[in-house]
Amino acid sequence: MRFVFSALLLATVLVFPANSHEKPPLEVAMIIPIEPWDCKAGLEAWRKWMEDNYRVEITWIEPMTPLPTKDTPEADRKAYYANPPEIPGLDKANQADVVFTALTHVSLNEKQSVEFLKLLTTKPVVGGRRSHHSISFKLPKDSEFAKLRNPGGFSGGYGDLIFGGGFAGHHGGTQQIKEGQADHPIVKGIPNLVSFSLHDRGYKHKLVADDVTVLIEMKETQQPQTWCRINKDTKQRTVYTVHDPIDIEKHESVRVMLTRALFWASERNELEYKKK
């Protein structure tokens, strides 16, 4: 009998190891832009920093085909815009707990236009610079997103839908935490987060949703630069920041803020995922 009990105890230990109480890693899909709109080194540095400091599993998704340029042969330009090439592995983002996107300056074919917009309106999303504009969609007329059709250009609209606001022009200046938001979990106690100016890399934004919380603004004009949203209808959580991969690479404070944003958006306790 004692032998049987010991065998059962050993089996239990093998099936449920000592660290089995830990939650599974946070699964993050990173959808990155393509050169020249990317500083891949900045995003790769952030990825490594997260993997070194947190229990995360990161799926890296990027376009392989750049937009045509003025030097692209006319036949190739027409072929690109008639049926834009697919982004490999975009469907893998559906399995992620949270999505980070900085995708910009691409055209998406009909299938992936619908897939991408469904993804960004249902998953927890953190958006980096330009993630709220400069994508051209090809959408079927019967799509739920048909109102966002933008033939012939990289118009906005989807930023309003996802983040509750979008691009309205360029604007530089000095950052500051918005009054009353210093204790928000995304920005609280992060040293040097607003210690550097954005110069000409800030944006003017038009916020259209009343469920947006501005976290960082321009000191001179109060133009919002980083904000979060809990969609009052769908309860989806999103975060947008004007910071780009260059800021992510240069400033650990930006890496900390964006990592916190991932946990906030996915409603996870950051401390439970920190590596010891």
Alpha-carbon gap, residue 158 to 164, rounded angstroms = 9
Among residues 101, 128, 99, 118, the alpha carbon closest in space to that of 266 is found at 99
Q: What is the pLDDT of residue 16?
A: 42
Q: What is the pLDDT of residue 112?
A: 95
Provide the domain count of the chain: 1
| pLDDT band with cut points at 50, 70 and 90 for residue 15 | very low
- In terms of DSSP bridges, do strands 175-177 and 203-207 run parallel, antiparallel, or are they unpaired? unpaired
Would you say residue 84 lies in a domain? yes
Buried b (16+ CB within 10 A) or exposed e, 19-29: eeeeeeebbbb
Which ranges constitute the DSSP H helices of 40-125? 40-53, 74-82, 110-120
pLDDT digit string, tens, across residues 29-70: 999 988 766 778 889 999 999 999 999 999 999 999 888 888
Would you say residue 17 lies in a domain? no
Q: Determine the structural domain holding residue 27 and report its residue range.
A: 23-166+229-273
Q: What is the pLDDT of residue 21?
A: 60
Cα–Cα distances in angstroms (integers) from residue 13 to residues 3, 4, 20, 119, in the given order: 15, 14, 10, 39
pLDDT digit string, tens, across residues 121-141: 999 999 998 888 888 888 888
Supply the DSSP symbol for 30: E
Would you say residue 3 lies in a domain? no
Q: What is the pLDDT of residue 11?
A: 47
Would you say residue 157 lies in a domain? yes
CATH number for the domain that contains residue 45:
3.40.50
Would you say residue 39 lies in a domain? yes
Supply the DSSP symbol for 79: H
Cα–Cα distances in angstroms (integers) from residue 115 to residues 7, 73, 120, 160, 184, in the given order: 50, 29, 9, 18, 32
- In terms of DSSP bridges, do strands 135-137 and 175-177 run parallel, antiparallel, or are they unpaired? unpaired
pLDDT digit string, tens, across residues 200-246: 678 888 888 999 999 999 898 899 999 999 999 999 999 999 888 88
In one-letter notation, the amino acid at residue 48 is K
Signed CA dihedral, 158, 77, 143, 102: sign only = negative
In one-letter notation, the amino acid at residue 186 is I
Would you say residue 262 lies in a domain? yes
| pLDDT band with cut points at 50, 70 and 90 for residue 156 | low
Q: What is the pLDDT of residue 138?
A: 87
Would you say residue 116 lies in a domain? yes
| pLDDT band with cut points at 50, 70 and 90 for residue 272 | very high
* Mean pLDDT to the nearest integer, 93-113: 93
Would you say residue 130 lies in a domain? yes
| pLDDT band with cut points at 50, 70 and 90 for residue 87 | very high
Contact between residue 245 and residue 43 where contact means Cβ atoms under 8 Å apart: yes
| pLDDT band with cut points at 50, 70 and 90 for residue 173 | confident
DSSP-assigned states of every residue in 150-208: -TTS----HHHHHHSEEEEEE----EEEPTT-TTSTTTTT-TTTTSS--GGG-EEEEE-
Contact between residue 134 and residue 209 where contact means Cβ atoms under 8 Å apart: no
DSSP helix/strand/coil, 144? coil
